[in-house]
Amino acid sequence: MREIHGLAVHAAGAHLLPYKYDPGDLAQSDVEVQISHCGICHSDVHLIDNDWGMSKYPFIPGHEIVGTVTAVGTGVQNLTIGERVGIGWQADSCGVCEWCRKGEEHLCAKAQPTCVGRHGGYADSVRVNWRFAIPVPAALESENVAPLLCGGITVYAPIRNHGVRPASRVGVIGIGGLGHIGLQFAKAFGAEVTAFSTSKSKESEARALGAHHFVNTRETGAMKKLAGSFDFLLSTVNADQDWGGYINALRPKGTFCLVGVPPSPMALQAFPLVGGQKSLSGSPTGSPADIAEMLDVAARHGVKAVTERFAMDKANEAVAKVKKNQVRYRAVLANS
Ligand code: NAP
Ligand code: ZN
């Protein structure tokens, strides 16, 4: 019997405990990956706490995985044993629906998240459909690239899809795991970049990562001064915000895009959206092709996560630090 060893949560909000499972026979289309690194995305924390009502316990969190292919199913086409790959939020999709056929597998209604209803990356190994194990360019270090597999693609895709270019004035709201990568990609796309943060102490690092301006959102009146300033605002914050203030901060035809998941319904006046022909949108992660493109852009433009490394068996300590917003900027668990 094959055993995969990891750290699982057994009830909402509980600590991670050692856990092993038998993954069964390797499916034709699956690869097994020996994990070297796994980032701690805030979505793992939401899943641990069952904030989204979709967690199934026990489960092993983790969906920012880098490792080496150790076994391939008989139907696996383009991966070989020993190859380094990355795995993000998605582990499988139906493969035949409209969205899968278009190469937009992240929009498949039967998409299988890597650690919802299956076990993820706080472990020694993981299995996924080969299409969702993406080769990692040699130039990228495993520890720094792991957070790009979810955090990176989640900010890259909307920046690209909304046509950010040198003329764009872009704001990134929340300079955490996602936000600090968002600053780097927005800069790589040539935009004038503003960081919005509740943490004044992040200013110099935000500037070093690509921000031309820094707004301390705890400062009274900070938002009012920015009315009509931005073409594209990307919110990575997982808390309720002054949404109206951000819509007012958009220029005509500007877009406010949510990737962070705040807890409450959003109350907004329609007039500022209507009058300025503004848009409100959301964005999930991205397809395997998007992830491959994002990794290639990261390698060529020097985009990488700033990481705080923890040994795998220190995962509880790392999760607690993420919850307190004390990590600069992404906690990454490392096996040995
Ligand atoms: P994170 O590393 O914890 O960063 C979140 C940042 O938000 C914090 O560093 C902080 O930045 C800011 N923040 C925290 N509490 C705040 C508050 N009360 N008010 C204002 N700002 C606050 O989290 P993450 O991993 O980047 O994830 C962020 C969100 O994106 C989570 O909700 C996660 O589930 C979601 N997510 C979505 C997708 C998707 O597919 N759309 C993918 C990945 C993650 P400052 O210190 O700069 O204020
Ligand atoms: Zn994530």
- How much is the pLDDT for 11? 98
Q: What is the 3-state secondary structure (H, E, C) of 138-176?
A: CCCCHHHHHHHHCHHHHHHHHHHHCCCCCCCEEEEECCC
Q: Which atom of ligand 1 is nearest to the CA of 285?
A: 40
User: Do 57 and 7 form a contact (C-beta atoms < 8 A)?
Assistant: no
Q: What's the structural domain count of the chain?
A: 2
Tell me: do 25 and 90 sit in the same domain: yes
Distance 136 CA to ligand 1 centre (A): 25
Domain boundary among 246, 267, 282: 282
Tell me: do 189 and 107 sit in the same domain: no
- How much is the pLDDT for 51? 96
Flag whether the pTM goes above 0.85: yes
Tell me: do 158 and 275 sit in the same domain: yes
In sequence order, which residues have a C-beta less than 8 Å from that of residue 1 and are 6 or more positions away? 22
Long-range contacts (CB closer than 8 Å, 24 or more residues apart) made by 266-271: 267/243, 268/243, 268/244, 269/244
In sequence order, which residues have a C-beta less than 8 Å from that of residue 321 and are 6 or more positions away? 308, 327, 331
Amino acid at 13: G
Domain boundary among 244, 265, 282: 282
Torsion of CA 317, 325, 201, 189, to 10 degrees: 110
Q: Whose CA is nearest to atom 30 of ligand 1?
A: 260
Tell me: do 86 and 47 sit in the same domain: yes
Q: Which residues line ligand 1 (CB under 6 A)?
A: 41-43, 46, 150-151, 154, 174-179, 197-199, 202, 236-239, 259-261, 283-285, 322, 325
CATH number at residue 293: 3.90.180.10
Query: Cα 27 to chain center, whole Å?
Result: 27
What's the distance, Cα to Cα, between the start and end of the chain in Å? 24
In sequence order, which residues have a C-beta less than 8 Å from that of residue 12 and are 6 or more positions away? 48, 49, 50, 55, 57
| Token pair belonging to 264 | 């409450």
Tell me: do 161 and 274 sit in the same domain: yes
Tell me: do 9 and 24 sit in the same domain: yes
Residue closest to 132 by CA, chosen among 63, 40, 45, 82? 63
Amino acid at 271: F
Domain boundary among 282, 299, 321: 282
Q: Which atom of ligand 1 is nearest to the CA of 199?
A: 46
User: Do 249 and 230 form a contact (C-beta atoms < 8 A)?
Assistant: yes
Ligand nearest to the CA of 150: 2
Tell me: do 185 and 232 sit in the same domain: yes
Tell me: do 11 and 145 sit in the same domain: yes
Tell me: do 20 and 123 sit in the same domain: yes
Q: Whose CA is nearest to atom 5 of ligand 1?
A: 176
- How far is Cα 115 from Cα 91, in angstroms, rounded to an integer? 8
Tell me: do 91 and 224 sit in the same domain: no
CB atoms closer than 10 angstroms to residue 224:
10
Dihedral sign for Cα atoms in the order 299, 300, 303, 307: positive
Could you tell me what percentage of the chain is helix, strand and coil, using 3-state DSSP and rounding each to the nearest 5? 30, 25, 45
Distance 42 CA to ligand 2 centre (A): 6
Q: What is the best residue among 89, 178, 241 to mutate for testing ligand 1's pocket, by most ligand atoms within 8 Å of CB?
A: 178
Tell me: do 40 and 141 sit in the same domain: yes
Query: Cα 296 to chain center, whole Å?
Result: 17
- How far is Cα 213 from Cα 133, in angstroms, rounded to an integer? 37
In a 10 Å sphere around its CB, with 0-12 CB exposed, 13-18 middle and 19+ buried, how is residue 211 labelled?
buried
Tell me: do 143 and 35 sit in the same domain: yes
User: Do 186 and 170 form a contact (C-beta atoms < 8 A)?
Assistant: yes
Helix (H) / strand (E) element for 309: namely: strand 307-311
Q: What is the pLDDT along the chain (336 residues), one digit of tens a residue?
A: 899 999 999 999 999 999 999 999 999 999 999 999 999 999 999 999 999 999 999 999 999 999 999 999 999 989 999 999 999 999 999 999 999 999 999 999 999 999 999 999 999 999 999 999 999 999 999 999 999 999 999 999 999 999 999 999 999 999 999 999 999 999 999 999 999 999 999 999 999 999 999 999 999 888 889 999 999 999 999 999 999 999 999 999 999 999 999 999 999 999 999 999 999 999 999 999 999 999 999 999 999 999 999 999 999 999 999 999 999 999 999 998
Q: Domain of 233?
A: 152-282
Q: What angle do CA 221, 218, 156 make, to 5 degrees?
A: 105
- How far is Cα 155 from Cα 50, in angstroms, rounded to an integer? 24
